[in-house]
Structure 1
Amino acid sequence: MKSSFVLLASGLLLAAATTFGDVPKPVVWIYTDMSDKTIPGKNHMGTVNDPDDISAMAGYLLLANEFDTRAIIVASTHRPEHATTPDQAAWADRFIGDAYRAEVANLNANLGGGFPADITFTQSSIKESAERYDPARTYASLNAYPTVRALFDVAAREPAGGLINVLIWGSTTEPAILVNHCLATGRADVLKKLRFIAHWTNSPLHQGTPENPEHVANCREDAAACAFLKQTAAAGRIDYRECGAIGQHGIVGGAPRGAEYYEAFKVSRLGRIFAEGKFVNGSVDHSDSATYWVLLGTMGVTLADIPADGTNTAAREQANEDKFRAQARALHEELLRRARAADGRR
């Protein structure tokens, strides 16, 4: 495996282009609202943020040899409770990062290598301010948004023809600020190096309706940001892939049921985090994982099944949901295989 590192002005140390053998891996940047689920909040789980992202993150790390991970931005959220909470990157590093570092040698030994030695986390620029996108504003400067600036810098350095896949697991605020900045400063070249893959910011079938598909939680979090990105994608100025609810109703909806099945994941630390992050209704909710399974394209749905203009018809969403549902057991069996590989006894 070959890799190099870039120290950004923001202080983030990010892995630069990485290959395993001669096959380039998809480059990934993640924006997630993931945060410590022991912090009380007002959602349906009694937590400040839905803990489904915790399970999705553990699943991602079990697949980390498939990706070139540039950054994971956590607590990208608008919850006012987070104004005074501890550093959520530090929490993620202890809770998930330590588990990964403890098991990466086993993963490499048992799965043929390619897992990076370390995975780090960075706290979102908007975690403490709970700021939302202002459609009347021109974001000519990114000085107040170091995690947005970091993505801009990485994309600007990416060679022509390179592509960074920006996975959106929650609010679209930070991506919207970035796109606004690029348009305002004439950096269409940077936008050409970005592909946004969003989980459930639109659905004519679930939560939303055919008339108002935007009436879903991840879009309502910052409706102005969501609308701006969709409009920009419709104009052909950005590549925005809308997964809809295919993670929730395909991957999770078709998953094996029962505590006994998921108990088998708990042989390793990452497997336990996956199984316990959000276990409800007899299975694990890791619906945001649709974004990276679509990128891999090995479990029924590929990027070719999702248009680049941000649209998501009911027929398309249903077809992709059905494809994921048909592969849901195989997908979970692959995660279980990897959770077992992380166990040093194997």
Structure 2
Amino acid sequence: MNNTIKAFFLGLLFINASVVAQKPKVWIYTDMSDNTIPGKNHMKTVNDPDDISAMAGYLLMANMFDTKGIVVTSTHRSEHKNSGNQADWANDFFGKAYKKDVLNLNINIGGYPKNIEFIQSCIKESAEKYNSNTAYKSLENYKTVALLKDEVEKSNEIINVLCWGSLTEPAILVNYCIENKRFDLLKKLRFIAHWTNSSLHQGTPEDPAKVANCNEDRAACEFLKAQALKGDITYFECGAIGQHGIVSGSPKGVDYYNQFKKSNLGKIFAEGKFVQDAVDHSDAATYWVLLGNYGVSLKEIVSNSNNSPEVEKKNEERFSQFSKKIHDELLRRSKAAEN
């Protein structure tokens, strides 16, 4: 092999290594659970199944991220005290689908990890909520919070914590870092939350925190936002732009979404929560803004949790305009996964 050819292949290796190194590190907290468990919400399930569709979409996009952990059933539903191990459910439900699809995804697109595993939340059975009067000096009783802390400890890069529901676990981690003066860890954390604030939907300009994901554990929500306003943490609040941008602006009709059902992950995406002639995967906003080239990036969201109504409205409109592109990209990947 002559020197020119060697240089060419070395260049390709360098480019590929750079792409891998630039993948954002991601940790996800989701209230997602098995949607066959009966509950009292509007879907007659314990937890809203929109996170199921959002997770299937994330797995279709998984080659774009360095996934460090996915914590399921981080929620406060009393029904989960005896609902069975939800990590086992997720590893079976998503894990089997991912393993069936990943071969073709890597053949046709590339860069997907061999498998992605799920962890059950430490608050799933206790339904514990963040207590503003508690100093969380130890994480001994909070296994999934400790696992994230350990990932941050050994990382040289920022870990993006995507918050799809309750904020109790992120709040416990931030409290722990403050109590133990581990401000070095806080500098390596970036929180990206969906709909824990909105001046336009559920909430009001006078009380933007009056939304479901903040009412779930108000003390945790207020604590994190206070730390963000002080500048102690970075907290990107998406508002309701996933629901009222990506979902509202999405293609409509069974015919479009039936195209997804030829792959295993695509089928889960299309069927997780199909309402009003489209898929509800609103929490997906957290990873599309992280990617940053689908209408809204972190540059369009303030880092202190305090977006103005004007910013939220503008970002809704941007996501709505790019929603077709987002869904077509998911469909492209679903087709690439077909067996």
TM-score category of the 2 structures, normalised to the smaller one = over 0.9
Deviation at 1:20, TM superposition (A): 4.8
Distance 1:293 1:178 in 2: 25
Structure 2 matches for 1:226-305, cutoff 5 A?
Answer: 226-305=221-300
Deviation at 1:22, TM superposition (A): 1.6
**1:116 match: secondary structure:** coil
Distance 2:107 2:88 in 1: 28
Residue aligning to 2:5 = none
Q: 2:49 aligns with which of 48, 51, 64?
A: 51
Distance 1:199 1:254 in 2: 17
Deviation at 1:142, TM superposition (A): 0.3
AA matched with 1:85: S
Is the Cα–Cα contact under 8 Å of residues 20 and 114 in structure 1 kept in the other structure? no
Q: 1:21 aligns with which of 12, 17, 22?
A: 17
Residue aligning to 2:60 = 62
Q: 2:311 aligns with which of 292, 316, 322?
A: 316
* Residue 133 (1) aligns with residue 146 (2): no
For residues 125-171 of structure 1, what are the alpha-carbon distances to aligned partners after superposition, in whole Å with 9 as ceiling and x for unaligned?
Answer: 00000000000000001000000001111101112xx1000000001
Distance 2:252 2:23 in 1: 32
Deviation at 1:312, TM superposition (A): 1.6
Residue aligning to 1:170 = 165
* Residue 87 (1) aligns with residue 82 (2): no
Distance 2:176 2:155 in 1: 18
**2:306 match: secondary structure:** coil
Residue aligning to 2:10 = none
Go from structure 1 to structure 2 and tell me whether the alpha carbon gap of 1:20 and 1:217 turns closer, same or farther (over 3 Å shift): farther
Is the Cα–Cα contact under 8 Å of residues 53 and 286 in structure 1 kept in the other structure? yes
Distance 1:171 1:20 in 2: 37
AA matched with 1:174: E
Deviation at 1:117, TM superposition (A): 0.3
Go from structure 1 to structure 2 and tell me whether the alpha carbon gap of 1:20 and 1:220 turns closer, same or farther (over 3 Å shift): farther
**1:143 match: secondary structure:** coil
Distance 1:207 1:258 in 2: 27
Residue aligning to 1:205 = 200
AA matched with 1:49: N
* Residue 150 (1) aligns with residue 147 (2): yes
* Residue 182 (1) aligns with residue 177 (2): yes
**1:241 match: secondary structure:** strand
Deviation at 1:21, TM superposition (A): 2.7
Deviation at 1:182, TM superposition (A): 0.2
For residues 275-322 of structure 1, what are the alpha-carbon distances to aligned partners after superposition, in whole Å with 9 as ceiling and x for unaligned?
Answer: 000000000000000000000011100010011111121000000000
Is the Cα–Cα contact under 8 Å of residues 278 and 285 in structure 1 kept in the other structure? yes
AA matched with 2:49: P
Structure 2 matches for 1:317-336, cutoff 5 A?
Answer: 317-336=312-331
Distance 2:16 2:98 in 1: 19
Distance 2:183 2:254 in 1: 49
For residues 161-203 of structure 1, what are the alpha-carbon distances to aligned partners after superposition, in whole Å with 9 as ceiling and x for unaligned?
Answer: x100000000100000000000000000000000000000000
Distance 2:135 2:150 in 1: 19
Distance 1:132 1:264 in 2: 41
Gaps of 5+ in 2: 1-14
**1:21 match: secondary structure:** helix
Gaps of 5+ in 1: 1-18
For normalisation by structure 2, the TM-score amounts to 0.94
AA matched with 2:67: T
Distance 1:21 1:179 in 2: 32
**1:208 match: secondary structure:** coil
Structure 2 matches for 1:94-113, cutoff 5 A?
Answer: 94-111=92-109, 113=110
Distance 2:17 2:327 in 1: 27
Deviation at 1:239, TM superposition (A): 0.2
For residues 189-236 of structure 1, what are the alpha-carbon distances to aligned partners after superposition, in whole Å with 9 as ceiling and x for unaligned?
Answer: 000000000000000000000000000000000000000000000000
Is the Cα–Cα contact under 8 Å of residues 171 and 222 in structure 1 kept in the other structure? yes
AA matched with 2:103: A
For normalisation by structure 1, the TM-score amounts to 0.93
Distance 1:244 1:131 in 2: 25
In our comparison, the structure showing a higher alpha carbon Rg is 2
